[in-house]
Amino acid sequence: MHWADVIANEIAENCEKPLIATGISPTGIIHVGSLREAITGESVRSAVEARGKEVRLIYLIDSFDPLRRRYDFLPPSYEQYVGMPISRIPCPCGKHRNYAHHFVQPFLDAVDSLGVHCEIIWTHELYAQGRFTDCIRTALDKREQVIQILHEVTGKEANPNYAPYNPVCEKCGRFATPKFDTFEFPYIWYECSCGHCGRNDISSGEGKLTWRLEWPAKWKIFGTSAEPFGKDHAAAGGSYDSGKRIVSEIYGGVAPYPIPYEFVQLKGVGQMHKSLGCPVTGLDAINMTPPEVLNYLFLRVLPSRTIDYDSGLGTLDMADEYDRMEVKFFNKDWTEAEENTIRAYEIAQHNHVPSKLPLQIPYRHLVNVVQMAPDFDGVIEVLKRTVDLSEATPEDMDRLRRRVDCVRYWLNGFAPDQVKFSIMPSLPEMIQIDTMEKVFFKELVNRMNDCNWETDVINEIVSGTAKSMPIGSKAGYKALYKIFIGKSAGPRLGSFLASMDKKFVINRLMQASN
């Protein structure tokens, strides 16, 4: 059985009103791993929904976390904000509400395009609404017990000064150290590194639980049934272990069904984002991988297994595999070993499986075609020369448009040079063409003039002609790439030539043979 089904069965059986929680820390770059979390959460949500349950997926944004340091991608002026909640730090570009929005909003927009049906919840708003007040109060009242639990779970020495809660300093806006013996609900006094001493109202939203206390508080507040999280939190003595005890022994709640997931490893030689110091961000992955393929990629293996995300040629392999599985799914033709992969394809549709096999255009072919046309209409025009689009539905065209956008994004930043080309609008004067090549081109013109302009026919003519002449296949193909794209290799010749206008091809050959 697919892992999402196993988890969904468990949740549907045990939870009255299932709620799946996922989260993200928007302090800087959004990693590809965050995508895994969102997609894992949505797949469980849709699998529970398919069992007839009303289920919610929430996406918690840690917008009240402090800025821990000035990251390399931030201007020097951001030094002054270190230690402040990121919801109160201005956005670096000036276009967003605050720092947290700046980093997470583009990602949220993109996640939406994956069909993730979640409610976005900003943690700083929960604090402002007083949703954490009860938990903060309990954590302060039972601080000794909290310290004991953390000692037992982590194996580290008990820290008598451990602060489960930090007030925001009213003077400098940074998180300050509370004086525990002064706590009398709702007030606690604090001392700040800026020198200010003040009194904080814990119900005012001017303060925050530390991570080990905040996470279980969220479980208690929302009644979370299941939650995917990075394996670092799942380690023995980690925050899931301590959270589990804190939620039951301190807050009086229940820990969610844990879905720890492995990291996503990045492969491929993409362009580095110099300002971010990271090769591929989660946003890049969304922009360059068709959403259905991305969903499938994260669903086809267990969460506990590492995923290699290859932003190079692997991108094409992923799309090819998806398309292959799609055909098998609709032909109901798969082996027992493929059962889980087929189910992964089905879950990747989030309960909206197409009614028939969608139009498939081989992804590699699309990569070539996209480089032959400036825009989507142009792509369609080129495609029509080799593909019958007469039966394409509006859904097919939507998917094609998204795939074209992904291919373009990939070509602009991540595709290896070997797949890139551009058709030269005219034959460069400087180009060297020898007699053997000229004779070959002339003969091609003769044979192509009256042929049907189809991939197979062209293939036969090109290979047959080259083989039968002194130039031979290898040099013949090279010569053709040279006069069309100025390179010695390129896309498969048959479909490449067939994708161009016949007149254009013949004109170029005639020009080159003179």
Q: At its nearest, how many Å lie between Zn ion and the CB of residue 191?
A: 9
Phi, psi of 30 (to 5 degrees): -90, 120
Torsional sign, CA 165, 169, 172, 177 = negative
Amino acid at 514: N
- 177 touching Zn ion, by CB under 5 A: no
Q: Is 117 helix (H, G, I), strand (E, B) or coil?
A: coil
- 487 touching Zn ion, by CB under 5 A: no
- Member of 91, 411, 419, 436 binding Zn ion (CB under 5 A): 91
- Member of 96, 137, 142, 179 binding Zn ion (CB under 5 A): 96
- 196 touching Zn ion, by CB under 5 A: yes
Cβ closest to Zn ion, residue 102 vs residue 385: 102
d(C-alpha 369, C-alpha 376), whole Å = 10
- 102 touching Zn ion, by CB under 5 A: yes
- Member of 110, 146, 168, 192 binding Zn ion (CB under 5 A): 192
Q: At its nearest, how many Å lie between Zn ion and the CB of residue 30?
A: 14
Instruction: Return all residues near 207 (Cβ < 8 A) that are at least 6 apart.
Output: 127, 136, 165, 166, 167, 168, 175, 200
Beta carbons of 73 and 277 less than 8 angstroms apart: yes
- Member of 13, 52, 93, 417 binding Zn ion (CB under 5 A): 93
Task: Give yes or no for a cis peptide into 186 (omega within 30° of 0).
Answer: yes
Instruction: Look at the block and give the residue holding tokens 């130039």.
Output: 471
Stated as kind and residue range, the H or E segment containing 192 is none
d(C-alpha 317, C-alpha 202), whole Å = 53
Instruction: Look at the block and give the residue holding tokens 């639980």.
Output: 209
- Member of 17, 171, 305, 384 binding Zn ion (CB under 5 A): 171
- Member of 50, 120, 128, 172 binding Zn ion (CB under 5 A): 172
| Interface segment toward Zn ion; rule CB under 5 A; list 40-48, 189-197, 219-227, 401-409 | 189-197
Cβ closest to Zn ion, residue 171 vs residue 401: 171
| Interface segment toward Zn ion; rule CB under 5 A; list 170-178, 225-233, 241-249, 288-296 | 170-178
| Interface segment toward Zn ion; rule CB under 5 A; list 4-12, 94-102, 139-147, 496-504 | 94-102
d(C-alpha 359, C-alpha 433), whole Å = 41
- Member of 169, 294, 367, 497 binding Zn ion (CB under 5 A): 169
Q: At its nearest, how many Å lie between Zn ion and the CB of residue 170?
A: 8
Residue 200 tokens, joined: 């904080």
Pairing between β-strand 187-191 and β-strand 177-184 as defined by DSSP bridges? antiparallel
Q: At its nearest, how many Å lie between Zn ion and the CB of residue 175?
A: 9
- 86 touching Zn ion, by CB under 5 A: no
Judged by the rule CB under 5 A, the positions of this chain that interact with Zn ion are 91, 93, 95-96, 102, 169, 171-172, 192, 194, 196
